[in-house]
Amino acid sequence: KRNRPMRETARTPRVREIMNPAVVTITENELVKTAAKKLLKGETNHLPVIDREGRLVGIITTYDVSKSVLRDGDALTVSEIMTKKVVTISADEAVDLAAQRLEQNNISALPVVDSSRHVIGILNAVDLGKLIQRRWQP
Amino acid sequence: KRNRPMRETARTPRVREIMNPAVVTITENELVKTAAKKLLKGETNHLPVIDREGRLVGIITTYDVSKSVLRDGDALTVSEIMTKKVVTISADEAVDLAAQRLEQNNISALPVVDSSRHVIGILNAVDLGKLIQRRWQP
Ligand SMILES: C[S@@+](CC[C@H](N)C(=O)[O-])C[C@H]1O[C@@H](n2cnc3c(N)ncnc32)[C@H](O)[C@@H]1O
Q: What is the pLDDT of residues B54-68, one digit of tens each?
A: 999 999 999 999 988
> In the predicted model, what is the mean pLDDT of chain B?
88
CA of A131 to the centre of ligand 1 (A): 22
- Is residue B111 assigned to a domain? yes
- Is residue A84 assigned to a domain? yes
Q: Is the pLDDT of residue B126 over 80?
A: yes
Could you tell me the pLDDT band of residue A105, with boundaries at 50, 70 and 90? Answer: very high
Nearest to B36 among A70, A102, A131 (CB): A70
CA gap A64, A78 in Å, rounded? 10
* C-beta A97 within 6 A of ligand 1: no
Atom number in ligand 1 closest to CA A105: 1
- Is residue A33 assigned to a domain? yes
Burial call B52-68: b when 16+ CB within 10 Å, e when fewer: eeeebbbbbbbbbbbbb
CA gap A105, A49 in Å, rounded? 19
Asked if A126 is an interface residue toward chain B (Cβ–Cβ < 8 A), one would say yes
Query: Which chain A residue's Cα is nearest to B108?
Result: A126
Which of 81-100 (A) contact B at CB < 8 A? 94-96, 98-100
> In the predicted model, what is the mean pLDDT of chain A?
88
Give the tens place of pLDDT for each residue, B12-28: 899 999 999 999 999 99
Residue B120, domain extent: 6-135
CA gap B120, B118 in Å, rounded? 6
- Is residue B1 assigned to a domain? no
Instruction: Compute and round to an integer the Cα radius of gyration of chain A.
Output: 16
Nearest to A66 among B66, B106, B124 (CB): B66
**Cβ contact B87:B114 at 8 Å:** no
Whichever domain contains A20, its CATH number is 3.10.580.10
Asked if A6 is an interface residue toward chain B (Cβ–Cβ < 8 A), one would say no
Query: Which chain A residue's Cα is nearest to B137?
Result: A96
Atom number in ligand 1 closest to CA A107: 8
Write the CA distances from A22 to A60, A90, A120, B2, integer angstroms: 17, 16, 8, 37
**Cβ contact A104:A40 at 8 Å:** no
**Cβ contact A44:A36 at 8 Å:** no
* C-beta B43 within 6 A of ligand 1: yes
* C-beta A62 within 6 A of ligand 1: no
Contact B70 A102 (CB under 8 A): no
- Tell which residue, A85, A87, A83, has the closest CA to residue A63: A83
Contact A133 B103 (CB under 8 A): yes
Could you tell me the pLDDT band of residue B82, with boundaries at 50, 70 and 90? Answer: very high
Q: Is the pLDDT of residue B4 over 70?
A: no
Task: Report, as an integer, the average pLDDT of A82-93.
Answer: 98
- Is residue A1 assigned to a domain? no
Task: Count structural domains, chain B.
Answer: 1
H or E stretch covering B60: strand B56-61
